[in-house]
Amino acid sequence: MKKALITGITGMDGSHLADFLLEKGYKVYGIERRTSTKNRTNIKHLEGKVTFLMGDLSDQNSLLRCLKEADPDEVYNLAAQSFVGESWNTPEQSADITGAGALRMLEAIRVYEKKVKFYQASTSEMFGKMEHLANENTKFHPRSPYGVAKLYAHWITINYRESYDMFNVCGLLFNHEGERRGKEFVSRKITDGVARIHLGLSDSISLGNLDSKRDWGYAPDYVEAMWLMLQQDKPNDYVIATGKDHTIGEFLSSAFNVIGIDDWKKYVKQDSRFMRPAEVYYLRGDSTKAKKELGWTPTTTFDEMITKMVKNDIKLLSGS
């Protein structure tokens, strides 16, 4: 039985990856950090199936202890301060967890000395200021403290692969969403807001910049790509994306459509509090390499994903 250790298991991707690996017959360990109130919304269903270990990406020894306890074949480093907007409020903490956190996990694996395959959650935010389709060779120009921190984590993962012959891969994942997404991200903020309007709990949604375009995929499709990367003979880095871009207006239109509203504009307010000091206006990825080498393609469409998210939020809010 293969063993996997996941950092960030309480998050959206971590919980989906745990579901996926359990289905594959893995023994799964997940690192949780101490918080004043436990938030197990995404992992409640995993209790009794996954072994939870206490640790923190800011604490090197805790990572080594978790590694020894789990003795994994594969480590998936998904933990991060992952909200781009927040990274201007806490740039140092974002650098420490999102950037140096990856280094701490790599060092723990290096000191542990056993052969462990390592996955780093890299991101399309590293491309930042881009205008065309991005692939593995596109130059980076991050536009947020989060993006800069992720770029450090990306290069240190590659550097440890080249320095110590470690099996390290980076997945350059474009935006992916789903029912377990945090409510501060624009996708879930919209689907939750639409559900509230539908149930008469609210009459509008306040958003920032509506002009950006994103290449939005569905999270459960994307965790499969993470696993596939670690099953290859040689470590390599891959862009994971749908190849299609949509504006936030198109996201809104699709979400309001689920509740039968065509004229969504009268329900949306613009609020400068949600604008960013530097914006990433356009992200679209070319995952040809992943398709060719991993056999990976996304299966859930943009509209299917949004429908699932809106229906799930209506269900959660109505308690049905």
The verdict on 187 binding ligand NAP (CB under 6 A) reads: no
Residue from 190, 246, 258 nearest 217 by CA: 246
The verdict on 19 binding ligand NAP (CB under 6 A) reads: no
Smallest separation, CB 120 to ligand G4F (Å) = 12
Candidates 24, 39, 183, 184: give the one binding ligand NAP (CB under 6 A).
Answer: 39
- Enter the tokens of residue 197: 């309007």
What string marks each residue from 210 to 249 as x (binds ligand NAP by CB under 6 A) or -?
----------------------------------------
Q: Please count the residues of this chain forming the interface with ligand NAP, following the rule CB under 6 A.
A: 25
244 to 100, 137, 181, 239, 305: CA distances (angstroms): 32, 19, 20, 14, 14
Task: List helix spans (H) across 43-172.
Answer: 60-70, 91-94, 101-112, 145-164
Of the candidates 123, 157, 242, 300, the residue annotated as catalytic is 123
**CB of 184 closer than 8 Å to CB of 299:** no
Containing H/E element for 205?
strand 205-207
Of the candidates 146, 160, 218, 282, the residue annotated as catalytic is 146
The verdict on 284 binding ligand NAP (CB under 6 A) reads: no
Q: Is 216 helix (H, G, I), strand (E, B) or coil?
A: coil
DSSP character at residue 16: H
Containing H/E element for 169?
strand 168-173
Q: Which stretch binds ligand NAP (CB under 6 A): 161-169, 172-180, 198-206, 263-271?
A: 172-180
Quickly list DSSP for 263-285.
-GGGGEEE-GGG--SS---B--B
Task: List helix spans (H) across 144-260.
Answer: 145-164, 186-198, 219-230, 248-258
DSSP character at residue 239: E
Candidates 27, 46, 56, 221: give the one binding ligand NAP (CB under 6 A).
Answer: 56
The verdict on 175 binding ligand G4F (CB under 6 A) reads: yes
Smallest separation, CB 115 to ligand G4F (Å) = 29
Q: How many residues does the chain have?
A: 320
**In terms of CB distance, is 29 or 127 closer to ligand G4F?**
127
Active site residue 146: yes
Candidates 184, 203, 204, 301: give the one binding ligand G4F (CB under 6 A).
Answer: 184
The verdict on 243 binding ligand G4F (CB under 6 A) reads: no
Smallest separation, CB 93 to ligand NAP (Å) = 8
- Enter the tokens of residue 247: 């504006």
Q: Which stretch binds ligand NAP (CB under 6 A): 55-63, 67-75, 106-114, 230-238?
A: 55-63
Active site residue 288: no
Of the candidates 125, 177, 179, 224, the residue annotated as catalytic is 125
Sign of the C-alpha dihedral, residues 303, 211, 242, 174? negative
Residues that bind ligand G4F (CB under 6 A): 82, 84-85, 123-125, 174-175, 184-187, 189, 207-209, 212, 214, 248, 274, 276, 279-280, 283
- Contact residues for ligand NAP (CB under 6 A)? 7-8, 10-14, 33, 35, 39, 56-58, 78-82, 97, 121, 123, 173, 175-176, 182
Catalytic residues: 123, 125, 146
